[in-house]
Amino acid sequence: MTETVVVLDPISEDSVTRLRALLPPGLVLTHGTARGDDHLKEIIATAEYAIAGQVGVSGEVLRAAPRLKLLHKWGVGVDNLDLDTARELNIRVARTTGSNAVPVAEFTLGLTLAALRCIAFGHAELKKGHWRTATAMPMQTFMLSGKTVGIIGFGAIGQAFARILKGFGCTILYSKRTPLSAAEEADLGARFATVPEILAQADVITLNCPLTPETKNLIDHKALAAMKKTAVLVNAARGGVVVEDDLIEALRSRTIHAAAMDVYEIEPLPPDSPLLTLDNLVVTPHLAAIAADNFVKTVNQMFDNIACVARGEPVPERDLVV
């Protein structure tokens, strides 16, 4: 019997073709073409399996899916999924643990360098025909080499970023609920530190943590005031980890030097957001996990989990959320 997999996010026809080429036997694939719960309820109604990337999946949407066996995150963070309703309805939830660690770590490096060296500003100005050299930049620029980098959230992504930083000769501090062993720290060249210690000591602070009750609004006015005036903040985690109004004020007042963001409290970011007016902030539209050469690996992991459920088998423990 054929079962349906629906990708809830609007995706390109090229992505659809690539997905269908990897689809396990016995499954057909459909996908979203618009945003909003009304459309999601329509397309999920006849599906046995649903995949969600950046789109939010509410309890109301899940209640419109009487045949749904598995809701799968295309990625790692599940804060956009209503897990309580999934439990209530006995819908399993899974994710692709570790699948995007290297792409996000590399993107974190890119954001860090862009913020430190005014790369985005120079690019935007030159596209307008303006040759902005040292005397016309909005701020001083700094090297990454030799700096102290604090990584808040030291799972697969944070550790991948630490490995990348080895070539820059950085002092690496990390914050994690359970510290690593001495051998693991030595291998990564990193040292455990509390969040207050990282805020006070780091030249660059990267957020690579999930959005949880513990991390929600972690970087607020008080945290920003505790950072060095020359510090750079990079958020490739989730928008809710940072209080955006507090960050806007800190960047305007030069409480911190600069920041870079790939994620926001509201996505898509509204075109009238004050974040878009700041000359010491680099912004990108939630791109960190997207890499064409990581597509097959991630999709195969996701489809393997769906195939397990289709066969009546459990989802592997590492990927099971609910």
Residue 108, SS3 per DSSP = helix
Strand 258-261 relative to strand 70-73: parallel, antiparallel, unpaired? unpaired
Active site residue 267: yes
Active-site hit among 286, 311, 313, 318: 286
Rounded distance between C-alpha atoms, residue 258 and residue 256, angstroms:
6
Q: Which residues pair with 158 in a beta bridge?
A: none
Of the candidates 203, 197, 226, 228, the one whose C-alpha atom is nearest the C-alpha of residue 142 is: 203
Contacts of 92 (CB under 8 A, 6+ apart): 69, 70, 71, 86, 309, 315, 320, 322
Catalytic residue among 48, 238, 244, 257: 238
Q: Is 95 labeled as catalytic in the residue annotation?
A: no
- Does 238 qualify as catalytic in the annotation? yes
The sign of the dihedral angle between the CA atoms of 311, 314, 318, 322 is positive
What 3-state DSSP class applies to 150?
A: strand
State the Cα–Cα distance between residues 181 and 106, nearest whole angstrom.
25
User: Which residue out of 267, 311, 317, 318 is catalytically annotated?
Assistant: 267
For residue 78, which of 296, 321, 316, 282 has the smallest C-alpha distance? 321
Helices (H), the chain: 13-22, 37-44, 59-63, 83-88, 101-117, 119-127, 156-165, 182-188, 195-201, 221-226, 244-252, 295-310
Distance in angstroms (rounded) separating the CA atoms of residues 172 and 194: 13
Q: Identity (one letter) of the amino acid at 41? A: K
Round to whole Å and give the CA distance between 313 and 213: 32
Strand order in the sheet with 3-10: 27-32, 3-10, 49-52, 70-73, 92-94
Catalytically active residues are 238, 267, 286
